[in-house]
Structure 1
Amino acid sequence: MSYTVLKSIHIIFVVSWFAGLFYLPRLLVYHAEAQAKGEPEKGILSKQFEKMEKILFNAIMIPAMFLTWITGLSLIYVAWLSSFGSQGWLHLKLGFVVAITVYHFVCRYLILQFRKGNFILSGTQLRLYNEIATILLVAVVFLVVAKNTLDWMYGLGGFVVFAIVIMAAVTIVKKIRNKA
């Protein structure tokens, strides 16, 4: 298999994985907020959200995560194995991918807690949590595109500023929504 075909397949699995990482926390927001409704609406919504969360996680997110890792490690083997030690951007990218994987499994933990009726995060907290995937994606994309041309201090500063802007935007939208 050529490098470009492998890279294309890797990107497809990354997109699939992130589709789930963006959508699942949104489902969790709605699931948590459904708890404020009266019965029978609360029970009906909870059962539906549990089903949607389970299918999304097991049928899309888990396979996409594993295939992202497999194709990504294959790319490292094919293209950078001989120079892996000198690819600082790649080490940092892998660190972010590990963080994305941890985020993935925290989503699983939240699903299991919600299924038990233990809503450990509010809708607002889940809205903020939902933005972590966006922040991590932006970091990885900039690393992959800029590689070693990215000045680490500017990159880190931009990453922190972007994270603050995203979190502030979520908080402002929540305040506007509460006033309306």
Structure 2
Amino acid sequence: MAFEYIKALHIIFIVTWFAGLFYIVRLFIYQRECLDRPQSEQSILKPQLDLMAYRLWYIITWPSAILTLIFGIWVLSYRWGYLEMPFMQAKLGFVALLYAYHFACHTIFKKLQQGNFSWSSSQLRMWNEASTLLLFAIVFLIVVKNLLSMVWGIVGLIGLGLLMMMGIRLYKTIRERN
């Protein structure tokens, strides 16, 4: 019975972690666009956006990432045999990439808090989609538990990535017209 509670907590913290990752990059976009505004607008927007990003990052996203790891290891302690299975090794590889993404977001967060950042809002929009691709890869691997299906999954992820990039470009075109 304890296993189900631990697994449920692991899933809950995965959800809150992803929510934080999705929203923090959206805040990065707003912070970046704020830097291009007149000083009078920056003086109002920047402190508010910085505060929102700070609270999201340190009160939701970081704790969720840590608790996801703790409960994930705890879940695995009930199923050590999974570590020998190719699907789990691939899933953990994607999880490692997700933590690398998280640390890269931390670097972006620090730079934006200082008002010093060189990426454009379009680049940040594309960066935001990396977590979506990782989410798809991780969920499909853990649900399907089949590495052969992963080949088709990778083809699907590439297709999804291309569709998202086209959507970003279309959005940028529409936005520039307005």
TM over 0.5: yes
In the aligned structure 1, how far is the partner of 2:150 from the partner of 2:140?
11
Correspondence 1:85-164 to 2 at 5 A? 85=84, 87-148=85-146, 150-164=148-162
Matched residue type, 1:46: K
Are 2:83 and 1:84 equivalent residues in the alignment? yes
Partner SS state of residue 168, structure 1: helix
In the aligned structure 1, how far is the partner of 2:166 from the partner of 2:82?
40
In the aligned structure 2, how far is the partner of 1:150 from the partner of 1:13?
28
Matched residue type, 1:22: F
Point out the more displaced range, 155-164 or 65-74: 155-164
In the aligned structure 2, how far is the partner of 1:66 from the partner of 1:19?
14
Q: CA deviation at 1:175?
A: 0.8
What residue is the counterpart of 1:62 in the other structure?
A: 62
Contact 1:143–1:150, Cα closer than 8 Å, also in 2: no
- What is the TM-score with the length of structure 1 in the denominator? 0.93
Contact 2:27–2:53, Cα closer than 8 Å, also in 1: yes
> CA deviation digits over 1:100-151, x for unaligned, max 9?
1111111110111112221221111111111111111011111111112752
In the aligned structure 2, how far is the partner of 1:102 from the partner of 1:83?
23
Unaligned 5+ residue runs, structure 1? Answer: none
Contact 1:113–1:120, Cα closer than 8 Å, also in 2: no
Q: CA deviation at 1:23?
A: 0.2
Contact 1:21–1:61, Cα closer than 8 Å, also in 2: yes
Let me know the Cα RMSD of the aligned residues: 1.4
Contact 1:13–1:68, Cα closer than 8 Å, also in 2: yes
In the aligned structure 1, how far is the partner of 2:148 from the partner of 2:59?
36
> CA deviation digits over 1:89-110, x for unaligned, max 9?
1111111111111111111101
- What is the TM-score with the length of structure 2 in the denominator? 0.94
Contact 2:22–2:131, Cα closer than 8 Å, also in 1: yes
In the aligned structure 1, how far is the partner of 2:136 from the partner of 2:83?
23
Matched residue type, 2:145: K
What residue is the counterpart of 2:28 in the other structure?
A: 28
What residue is the counterpart of 2:16 in the other structure?
A: 16
What residue is the counterpart of 1:5 in the other structure?
A: 5
Matched residue type, 1:102: A
Partner SS state of residue 36, structure 1: coil
Partner SS state of residue 145, structure 2: helix
- Residues 50 and 83 from structure 1, CA distance in 2 versus in 1: closer, same or farther, beyond 3 angstroms? closer
- What is the percent sequence identity of the aligned residues? 37
Matched residue type, 1:38: P
Q: CA deviation at 1:39?
A: 2.1
